Amino acid sequence: MTDQENPITTTDAGIPAASDEYSLSVGADGPLLLQDHYVIQKMAQFNRERVPERVVHAKGSGAFGYFEVTANATPWTKAAFLNTVGKRTPVLARFSTVAGEQGSADTARDPRGFALKFYTEEGNYDLVGNNTPIFFVRDPSKFSDFIHSQKRMPDTDMRSNNAQWDFWSLSPESLHQVAFLMSDRGTPKTYRNMNGYGSHTFMWINAQGEKFWVKYHFKTEQGIENFTDADAKTMMAEDPDYHRRDLRTAIENKNFPTWRLEMQIMPFKDAATYRYNPFDLTKVWPHSDYPPVTIGRLVLDRNPENFFAEIEQASFEPANMVPGIGPSPDKMLLGRLFSYPDAHRYRIGTNYLQLPVNQPHVEVHSYNKDGAMRSQHSGNQPVYAPNSYGGPKADPEHYTDPSWATSGELLRSAYTLHAEDNDFVQAGNFYRHTLSAIDKDHLVNTIVGHMSQGVDRFVQERALKNWYQVDSELGTRLASGLGLAPVLTATGREKQNQ
Ligand code: NDP
């Protein structure tokens, strides 16, 4: 330490640096010297400060906290972190917008990511959800197409409402989520004032081997609050980091945000005959069919010390599931099991799980080795299995592979339709029964405003046909707002669903 109590500057190798301000030259006006290693290192490191931003969910914020079990969940899952009332598990949460880049404004209209990492005694459990219970598409084959339609166009490098509505109007399964997005829940006031949903259907397995299908709902205990379209737009200019600032400040002020975890739980056998396909990510399970059961509470009480190290490099992956929790036939979920770890290997590097924020809080005993930037290793442990020298042994008794019956045929197909399935019915129920009169006005104005900006007439007309099928009143109001003739009528199917 110097007299001023400041540490002495060093190179990244810990060697005392000669100067904080001056490079080494031959004479005051002379050429710079390659042996000035510290200055060269500064310039080189600066050029490498960024890792590729996430293609989706680039702008986000996060905080640490814990999850506490508040009710007995053992009838449905043997997951150890859920097995005792009062048990607390450390958690990292990251919230984000989807389409904007890292510097984009927080209050843009967009779904929000709601990603959780539970550092459990059986390894990391990641639940990587959104603030909506549903999604735009139901097959991972369409995911990159959907995102391409939302992000910047190849020629102009600007976003295009026309591309968005072109894709949506050709993908009617997106209507339910678009209705959410265009409602005021598309512009949450803060991260603290929105719900988080696991969105997919997952499997839970209890200690007796019984299986259940489940959905996660983290309900905000701060209450839902949204911006109107106008206020969200004003805030985009006033404070592009509004959500980031709000979360950080709330935690700094010890105003810790909390969410109540409610589960919808479906007996395994019900799936085959349920009125909606329960694995279709564009559908909810109505609460009246499967009433939510409260099992725990999420509390965020600690800000990151270093944003890059702990949030930018945080790597969530839906494939991280602990014993007692498994996937379901939800095709989007199955696609995401691959795509997330693949993204992390590209963005962060092969050994991203060794960074402190991603490291499990339990010991790792795998047979994987080496790779760029590996820092933890198992010493002289055998690097192959089976072996005779005391290497780790898998425990098939403890880990039951989650499974379900399939036909075994290879095919490309849409989901099996269940009795009341179509792409319009739940979006229609949302409009008719969930939205208040004011919510409906806002939805209509937002869709009309969005579709009026550079969207081709034929695309508007096609989108309108879909909205008519969602609800004829909604279709009529949108037609009038867009100056299109209300020539279409509700289909028999839609009337049946009203
Ligand atoms: P319910 O009335 O039982 O549940 C509706 C849910 O919608 C509640 O969770 C409510 O809780 C939430 N909600 C209320 N106002 C809005 C709003 N303006 N925007 C979005 N969500 C809102 O009805 P159903 O379960 O039969 O669902 C009807 C429709 O409600 C669905 O088609 C879906 O669009 C929507 N919805 C359903 C959910 C579900 O899991 N069943 C979850 C969220 C929405 P809260 O205000 O606490 O979010």
Can you tell me the mean pLDDT for 58-75? 98
124, 130, 303, 320: the catalytic one is 130
434 CA from centroid of ligand 1 (Å): 6
| CATH fold for the domain made of 60-354 | Catalase HpII,  Chain A, domain 1 (2.40.180)
57, 200, 217, 344: the catalytic one is 57
Q: Is the CB of 241 under 6 A from ligand 1?
A: no
Closest residue CA from atom 15 of ligand 1: 434
Cβ–Cβ contacts within 10 Å for residue 323, how many? 20
pTM for the whole structure: 0.95
The count of residues in the chain is 498
| DSSP string covering 78-122 | --GGGSSTT-EEEEEEEEEESSS-TTS-TTSSS-EEEEEEEEEBT
Q: Is the CB of 435 under 6 A from ligand 1?
A: yes
Instruction: Work out the pLDDT band at 4, boundaries 50, 70, 90.
Output: low
Helix/strand number for the chain, H first, E second = 13, 10
pLDDT tens, residue by residue, 25-49: 999 999 999 999 999 999 999 999 9
Q: Is the CB of 429 under 6 A from ligand 1?
A: yes
> What pLDDT shows up at residue 95?
98
> What pLDDT shows up at residue 164?
98
Instruction: Work out the pLDDT band at 488, boundaries 50, 70, 90.
Output: low
Angle at 185 between CA 312 and CA 287, to 5 degrees: 105
* Residue 211, beta-bridge partner list: 205
- Nearest-angstrom CA–CA distance, 278 and 271: 6
433 CA from centroid of ligand 1 (Å): 9
> What pLDDT shows up at residue 303?
98
Domain 1-49 class, CATH top level: few secondary structures
| DSSP string covering 131-160 | SSSS-S-SSGGGHHHHHHHHS--TTTSS--
420 CA from centroid of ligand 1 (Å): 18
Residue 158, both tokens:
């600007």
421 CA from centroid of ligand 1 (Å): 18
Closest residue CA from atom 18 of ligand 1: 435
pLDDT tens, residue by residue, 216-272: 999 999 999 999 999 999 999 999 999 999 999 999 999 999 999 999 999 999 999
278 CA from centroid of ligand 1 (Å): 16
Of 195, 147, 188, nearest to 167 by C-alpha is: 147
CATH 1.20.1370.20, the chain: domain bounds: 425-496
176: DSSP letter: H
CATH 4.10.91.20, the chain: domain bounds: 1-49
Q: Is the CB of 361 under 6 A from ligand 1?
A: no
441 has pLDDT over 60 = yes
361 is an active site residue: no
Q: Taking each helix axis as running N to C, give the angle between helix 457-470 and helix 437-451, from 0 to 180 degrees, rounded to the nearest 10.
A: 160
Closest residue CA from atom 11 of ligand 1: 219
How do 325-326 and 202-205 pair as beta strands? antiparallel
Q: Is the CB of 225 under 6 A from ligand 1?
A: no
CATH code: domain 425-496 is 1.20.1370.20
Instruction: Work out the pLDDT band at 215, boundaries 50, 70, 90.
Output: very high
- 302 in Cβ contact with 194 (< 8 Å): no
Residue 64, both tokens:
């640490």
Can you tell me the mean pLDDT for 77-95? 98
Q: Is the CB of 219 under 6 A from ligand 1?
A: yes
In the numeric block, the tokens 């299109």 are attached to 484
Top mutation candidate among 112, 287, 288, 442 for ligand 1, by most atoms within 8 Å of CB: 287
124 is an active site residue: no
In one letter, which amino acid is 324?
Answer: G
Q: Is the CB of 195 under 6 A from ligand 1?
A: yes
- 301 in Cβ contact with 256 (< 8 Å): yes
Residue 36, both tokens:
């000035």
Residues ≥6 apart with Cβ < 8 Å to 205: 77, 78, 211, 212, 323, 324, 325, 326, 400, 402
- Nearest-angstrom CA–CA distance, 367 and 385: 8
196 CA from centroid of ligand 1 (Å): 13
> Average per-residue pLDDT in the chain?
95
- Nearest-angstrom CA–CA distance, 125 and 350: 19
Cβ–Cβ contacts within 10 Å for residue 145, how many? 13
213: DSSP letter: E
Strands of 246-318, DSSP E: 258-267, 293-302
Residue 474, both tokens:
């909604």
Q: Is the CB of 185 under 6 A from ligand 1?
A: yes
CATH 2.40.180.10, the chain: domain bounds: 60-354
Strands of 309-443, DSSP E: 325-326
H-only helix segments in 348-456: 425-429, 437-451
